[in-house]
Amino acid sequence: MEAGGTLLNGKFKFKIGKDGSVDKNKVICTYCQCELSYHRSSSSLKYHLMAKHTADVDSPPPPHNQTQTRLDSFRQRPMDPATKMKLTVAIAKWVATACRPTSVVEDEGLQNIIRIASNDWTYETPSRGTITHRVETLFQTEKSQLQLALGQTDTIALTGDYWTSLGNDNYLGVTAHYFTPQWELQSHALTVMKTEDRHFAENVAEHFMSVVREWGIEKKVVSLTTDSARNMVAAARELPFEHLPCIAHSVHRAVTVSLHNSPFDSALAKCRKLVGHFKHSPANALELERQQVALNQRKEELTQEVATRWNSTLEMIKRVNRNVEPLRAALALHSTKVAMPTATELEKTKKLEAVLEHCRYVTDLLGGEKFVSCSVVMPALCHLSRVMEITEDDPAYLIKFKQTFSADMEGRKDKLNIAWLRVATALDPRFKDLKCLSRPDRVVVWDFIRDLLRQQETERPAALDDQSMPEPEKKKPALMFAQDSSSDEEEDTVDQCIERYKAEPMIGIEDSPQEWWSTHKASHNEMASLASKYLATPATSVPCERLFSLSGHVVQKKRASLLPENVNRLVCLSNWLKDKKVKEESNNQVLLWEEFHRVAVRHGVRYKSVAEHFPVHRTDLWARDGVHLSDNHGMLRLVDLPWYAAYLHLSPPPPPPPPQVTPVPTCARPRLVVSGTSSSLRPRNAFDDALVKRGVKWSKAQSLFQSVTRAMPGCGQPPVTNRRTEPRAELEADPRTARPVSVLLVPGSVSTGKSGIVGARKRSRWGEAVRESGIEVSAGGREEVGKRTSEDCRGSGRGEK
């Protein structure tokens, strides 16, 4: 015990009673004020410190004099160099993927977290220079892997756009999109490079070509998707690849023009003021929340409109329309100049919401980068055209909006690369019927594809011709006829290729075209080459804009002075590691798929492949005789199924239980026999479709039941079905003969309608009731009872006792 009534360097103190006396058997923890028992040993106190207050202990416990190895000695062991290296690499990846500054390693909170997790209080986080070096090394490694992946593909599509940082620096962002040999659509950032030249067409074209030359993909780039700015369109004319204007920008401009000076201005202005009233005042926002709760509505904030984003206008009017009653109730509580939109104006906003929802659906559908979007442009434009058709029920203000939108969109269609979009639609097995085009346009599209296939045949590498065997010299007439024959064969081959593809059944709108091509590329090799070229092209420049959103997280106010090379390194590395993380998860699912096959074979489970996806998170689809799952490579959704469910359903089935044998009764039991001739039959239960012993159908014994009822006085109806008092009767006669039949009635469960046996439901009265009814009764002895089969013993539990 230490001086002053404390223990372990003042971490514990003795308990002091109300009268001021010191209790030597109770101590109080100075950290958590927890009361502990003390019996002249501090082992439990040390355990309390290590378990509850590890971070507060300044130094490890003093060494013990005993030589026995303690658990604490293992917990305080310093971290080995290999683990430190793994932690350094993990911190570098975290800094790159989470867009953290390298100065985060100097944060004391992070250092304490790692020390507590590793239980090594001597650990020091790596320096900023070490993390910077690791990030640069990681960038070079990932760049080399991306260059290797780009070298394995034949065609690459690009998207590009310019962005201005907080430091007023101009950056060019470029992304690459391509199909892998397994037909997996990939999207990666190539660069976020700083530009100092003015954005003239010549400079813009040179910027893109410098990026292409840096990655060595000059001969593989086939298309470039940008916005419809004049300098971008002019620069695309000087580039050696196709240019596709962003369809999302076209829809955005059409909606913006239609909303400008439209009949919806007054309603939208009131909605803006209404939203601002509740957004700028916390008290008003709280009052709106209370009204939403009082009216049993979901609590949600209002959304303010952004002038440059029409989808914010849609979100604003949607939330106003959903909260009309709470808004009115909240405004009625206080006097304010803010006016609620009138009923007519609210009706206008609902009409506008219905139309804009279709536009947002199209932009969301075309803005993806992990699925094919270029082939969806023509069907999406056709859908918008149908939506904007004027109907008889449309009011004047909605007619004006639709006319303005349709006229503006038609003018922008001429600037789109319609030929490229039509070919992409035809090469998509979901839309190859080209119903979004007129019949003459369909013929033009297939003729254009036929020309592309011929051009593809002529552009084959000359190396293949050099490897062929030299042919002997032929005479001129023979050469002439051979040339004509070759031309005819080529024409037939191209036509057969197209017809064979068109004869394939179409797939559903929700199915994946790249998955279809991955399974049919062997039978449609020529068409697959065109499909990989056209379907990989993004319909919008949204992937590049997402890259700028990521750049905004890197170049913040406190990091506005980052060097351009560091911005490029951090942004690209974050994009690559994010895609690699998704790929690693996919690889883990592939391994899980292989493990499932291994376990299935070991347990004798037959794997039945199917074409469609099944929700494998439902365990009831797992069966021991045949597991119905998706047969796609890797079975990507198998990871949703827990391991315990897999092993539970794949485990060998338990051995079947032995058949239950009815024990032979040890004592004789009276047996009631009803005698008579069979004339007709009526079943007691519709599910009882056969006699017990011979399996004779009820239809073959129609006269049996009537004969039995005649022999029972007062019984003119069939037995009454009752769960507790249901008669248990077994027919023991061959109905094909006219011989007398006998019916076994189990005591304790007799109920026969109007007969005197109705009241004989207790065991003590069943014999007396039978005697009063006049039925001939015979009792069987022990030998007769022992001969009964299991069918004869299907009585109730009460009757067998």
Domain presence at residue 432: no
Whether 27 and 118 map to the same domain: the answer is no
Domain presence at residue 511: no
- The range of the structural domain enclosing residue 340 comes to 252-423
Percent of the chain topping pLDDT 70: 64
Domain presence at residue 209: no
Whether 256 and 394 map to the same domain: the answer is yes
pLDDT digits (tens, 9 = 90+) for 659-706: 666 555 555 444 444 444 444 444 444 444 433 334 444 443 444 444
Q: Which range scores top for mean pLDDT: 111-120, 409-418, 561-570, 697-706? A: 409-418
Q: Which range scores top for mean pLDDT: 165-169, 367-371, 379-383, 488-492? A: 379-383
Whether 335 and 413 map to the same domain: the answer is yes
- Number of structural domains (the chain) is 5
Weakest-pLDDT range from 65-79, 277-291, 340-354:
65-79
Closest CA to 744 of 664, 667, 661, 669: 669
In this prediction, residues 512-521 reach a mean pLDDT of 90
Whether 633 and 683 map to the same domain: the answer is no
Whether 678 and 634 map to the same domain: the answer is no
Whether 748 and 630 map to the same domain: the answer is no
Whether 309 and 394 map to the same domain: the answer is yes
Whether 607 and 698 map to the same domain: the answer is no
Domain presence at residue 510: no
Q: Is the pLDDT of residue 784 over 60?
A: no
pLDDT digits (tens, 9 = 90+) for 198-226: 888 899 999 999 999 999 998 899 999 99
Of 371, 400, 423, which closes a domain? Answer: 423
Closest CA to 627 of 643, 638, 642: 638
Whether 343 and 412 map to the same domain: the answer is yes
Whether 690 and 749 map to the same domain: the answer is yes
Closest CA to 384 of 376, 374, 396: 376
Closest CA to 425 of 413, 433, 415, 414: 433
| Contacting residues for 184 by C-beta, under 8 A, at least 6 apart | 514
Give me the pLDDT at residue 602, please: 55
Give me the pLDDT at residue 11, please: 83
In this prediction, residues 773-778 reach a mean pLDDT of 44
Q: Is the pLDDT of residue 473 over 50?
A: no
Give pTM, 2 decimals.
0.60
Domain presence at residue 759: yes
Phi, psi for 388 (deg, rounded to 5): -85, 10
Domain presence at residue 190: no
Domain presence at residue 187: no
Query: What is the Cα–Cα distance from 571 to 189, expressed in whole angstroms?
Result: 8
Of 136, 151, 171, which closes a domain? Answer: 136
Domain presence at residue 571: no
- Amino acid residing at 643: W
Whether 645 and 789 map to the same domain: the answer is no
Query: What is the Cα–Cα distance from 313 to 320, expressed in whole angstroms?
Result: 11
Whether 766 and 617 map to the same domain: the answer is no
pLDDT band of residue 325 (cuts 50, 70, 90) is very high
